[in-house]
C-alpha cells in the first residue's frame, strides 16, 4: 500500500463512507419518540450485562489483568538492558574478562573504568573494574563490543538502592562462583521473550 492515499487531504473525493446515522429529530413529536425509543430499548442493561460478565469471569480467575508485582513478576525480554552482569567461563569458573579495555573505550558516557596488569604468567588480569551507574545510560555498547561475551546486560531492573556503589563493583556484577550452574548465557540480539507465545494476539484488523 502506498502513502499516496494518506497524503491526499481533499476530503470528499477519497474513499470515505458516511455512517448510517439517523436523522436528528425536528418536530417535538419526533423528539418524544426518540426519548421513548432510547428509554425502552434497554441499552443500559447491555452495559450492566457487560460489567457483570467481566465480574463473574474475573471471580473465576479468567481475564484477570493484575500482576501482583513485588510477589509476581512478568518475564522480561532477553534484549532488556538492565544492570550489567560479568560472566564466568563454565569450565574453569574463571571470569571471562580478558582486560582488553574495549568496553571502557566505547562507553559513550565514560562510566566504565578499569585497571589491568600482567600477572605472573604474563596474562592480563583485571585489578579494578567499576561502572558508575550514576552516569550509565544503559546503551548496551559495552555488551555489544565485548569479544568474550564477558559483560552482558542482565535482567535485574530493580535498581533502587541506598548507595550508587551497591551495583558498581566488579564482584557485585560477577556471577557468584557457587551459582555458576545457574549462569544464563546471553541469547543474542534477536532473542524473544520466554513468554512470547502467550503474547501473540490477532491484529486489531482481524476483529
Q: Is 35 helix (H, G, I), strand (E, B) or coil?
A: helix
Closest CB 70 distance from other proteins, rounded Å: 10
Instruction: Tell me the sheet residues that pair with 169.
Output: 130
CB of 89 to other proteins, least distance (A): 44
| DSSP string over 129-198 | EEE-TTT-----HHHHH-TTS-EEE-S------S-GGGTTBHHHHBPPGGGGGGPPPP--TTPPPTTTTT
> What's CA 63's distance to the chain center, in Å?
22
Cell of 136: 550509565
48-107 residues in contact with other proteins (CB under 8 A) are 48, 50-52, 54-55, 57-59, 63-66, 68
Q: Of 81, 103, 91, which Cα lies nearest the Cα of 150? A: 103
Least distance in Å: CB of 203 to other proteins?
A: 22
CB of 74 to other proteins, least distance (A): 15
Taking the least distance from each CB to other proteins, the nearer of 45 and 207 is 45
Per-residue interface string for the shown chain with other proteins, residues 28-47, x marking contact by CB under 8 A = -------x---x----x--x
Distance of closest approach, residue 177 Cβ to other proteins, in angstroms: 37
**φ and ψ at residue 16, rounded to 5 degrees:** -90, 155
- Residue number with CB closer to other proteins (52 or 165): 52
Nearer to other proteins, 30 or 55 (CB): 55
Q: Name which of 63 and 134 has its Cβ closer to other proteins.
A: 63
| DSSP letters for 70-82 | TT------TT---
Please say whether the beta carbons of 140 and 81 come within 8 A: yes
- If the CB atoms of residues 24 and 94 are measured against other proteins, the closer one turns out to be 24
Q: How far is the CB of 55 from other proteins (least distance, A)?
A: 4
Binding site for other proteins (CB under 8 A): 35, 39, 44, 47-48, 50-52, 54-55, 57-59, 63-66, 68
Amino acid at each position: 500500500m502506498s502513502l499516496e492515499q494518506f497524503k491526499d487531504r481533499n476530503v470528499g473525493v477519497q474513499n470515505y463512507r458516511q455512517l448510517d446515522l439517523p436523522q436528528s429529530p425536528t418536530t417535538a413529536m419526533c423528539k418524544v419518540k426518540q426519548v421513548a425509543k432510547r428509554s425502552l430499548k434497554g441499552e443500559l442493561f447491555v452495559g450492566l450485562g457487560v460489567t457483570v460478565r467481566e465480574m463473574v469471569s474475573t471471580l473465576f480467575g479468567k481475564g484477570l489483568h493484575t500482576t501482583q508485582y513485588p510477589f509476581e513478576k512478568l518475564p522480561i525480554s532477553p534484549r532488556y538492558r538492565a544492570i550489567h552482569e560479568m560472566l564466568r567461563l563454565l569450565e574453569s569458573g574463571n571470569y571471562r574478562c580478558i582486560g582488553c579495555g574495549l568496553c571502557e573505550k566505547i562507553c559513550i558516557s565514560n562510566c566504565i573504568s578499569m585497571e589491568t596488569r600482567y600477572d605472573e604468567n604474563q596474562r592480563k588480569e583485571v585489578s579494578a573494574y567499576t561502572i558508575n551507574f550514576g552516569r550509565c545510560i544503559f546503551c548496551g555498547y559495552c555488551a555489544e563490543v565485548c569479544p568474550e561475551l564477558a559483560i552482558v546486560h542482565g535482567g535485574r531492573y530493580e535498581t533502587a538502592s541506598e548507595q550508587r556503589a551497591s551495583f558498581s563493583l566488579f564482584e557485585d556484577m560477577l556471577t557468584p562462583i557457587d551459582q555458576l550452574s545457574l549462569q544464563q548465557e546471553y541469547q543474542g540480539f534477536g532473542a524473544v521473550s520466554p513468554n512470547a507465545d502467550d503474547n501473540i494476539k490477532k491484529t486489531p484488523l482481524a476483529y
